[in-house]
Amino acid sequence: MAKGKELLIIFAKVPELGKAKTRLAVDLGDEQTLEVYRELLEHTRRITLPLSQDKIVYYTPYIDTNDQWCNQYYQKALQPEGDLGERMRFAFSQGFAQGYSRICIIGTDCFDLRTEHLEQAFDALQKHNVVLGPSQDGGYYLLGMNQLYSSLFSNKVWGTESVADDTRRDIKQQQLSLRELPTLNDIDNINDLKQSPLGSKYVNKIVE
C-alpha cells in the first residue's frame, strides 16, 4: 500500500551499449551515446532523490536491483509489453490501485528538469486534474493526474511532435482542468544534445 498520497514514476532503460537513445547514436556513436545516457540517468536520480514523494523506477528490459537507484528510496518494477501509452497507463493504474491520489511520470531524457519542476507538478495536482510538462519537440517530459484518465494514453503516435497537442485535446474534451509547466528540452537526437548544457561536453566528439 502507498506510504504517502503522492507517487513519482520514473521510466528508465537499463544502460546497455547500443540499446539506449538509438537516434542520438546515429551521429554520436554507441559508446558516447551510452555515456550521455548515463549522465541523464544520474541527473534524474539527483533531482528526484530530495523529493518527499514515494518514487518507483519502471525498468526496461529488466530490473537492475544493484544500480544507482538505491533500494532504500526507490521502489522497482518492470515495464510491461506494449507501446508507450499502454505501459504508462499500466504504471498509473497500478499506482492508483495502491492508494496514491496524485501521480506524476517522467522519463530520463530531460537534462533541463529540476527538483522544483517536480514539486510544482505535485502542487498543481492539488487544484488541477492534470499537469503537463511539454517538451520542445512536441512531446512531453512529465504527465501527472489525480485519477486515471485512460484516454490520455490512447490514439497517440508516440515519439512524434503531435503528442502534447493530442493530449491537450483529450484533456479539453473531458473538460479536465490543466496546469502546464515550462517547456523544456528532451534529449533524443543530436540537435537536442547541441541545445543542452551537456552538448558543450560532447561537441568535439559529434560527427558532423
Summarize pLDDT for 72-129 with one digit per residue, the tens.
999 999 999 999 999 999 999 999 999 999 999 999 999 999 999 999 999 999 999 9
Say if 39 falls within a structural domain: yes
Residue 20 is predicted with a pLDDT of 86
Distance CA 76, CA 39 (A): 20
Say if 1 falls within a structural domain: no
Say if 207 falls within a structural domain: no
Q: Say if CB 136 and CB 185 are below 8 A apart.
A: yes
The answer, yes or no, to whether residue 3 has pLDDT greater than 70, is: no
Stretch (H or E) spanning 184: none
Residue 63 is predicted with a pLDDT of 95
Backbone angles phi, psi at 153, to 5 degrees: -110, 0
Say if 65 falls within a structural domain: yes
Distances (CA, A) of 201 to 2, 19, 24, 38, 50: 40, 22, 15, 14, 26
Distance CA 78, CA 76 (A): 7
Say if 208 falls within a structural domain: no
Q: Residue 30 sits in a domain of what CATH number? A: 3.90.550.10
Question: What value does the mean pLDDT of the chain take?
Answer: 92
**Residue 22's domain spans which residues?**
6-202
More confident residue, 143 or 208: 143
Percentage, residues of the chain above pLDDT 90: 77
Average of per-residue pLDDT across 179-198: 92
Number of domains in the chain: 1
- Taking alpha carbons only, the member of 38, 56, 8 closest to residue 109 is 38
- Taking alpha carbons only, the member of 107, 87, 102, 104 closest to residue 43 is 107
Summarize pLDDT for 27-81 with one digit per residue, the tens.
889 999 999 999 999 999 999 999 999 999 999 999 998 898 999 999 999 999 9
Helix axes 30-48, 115-124, angle to 10 degrees: 50
Say if 97 falls within a structural domain: yes
Residue 160 is predicted with a pLDDT of 81
Q: Say if CB 126 and CB 101 are below 8 A apart.
A: no
Confidence of residue 1 (pLDDT cuts 50, 70, 90): very low
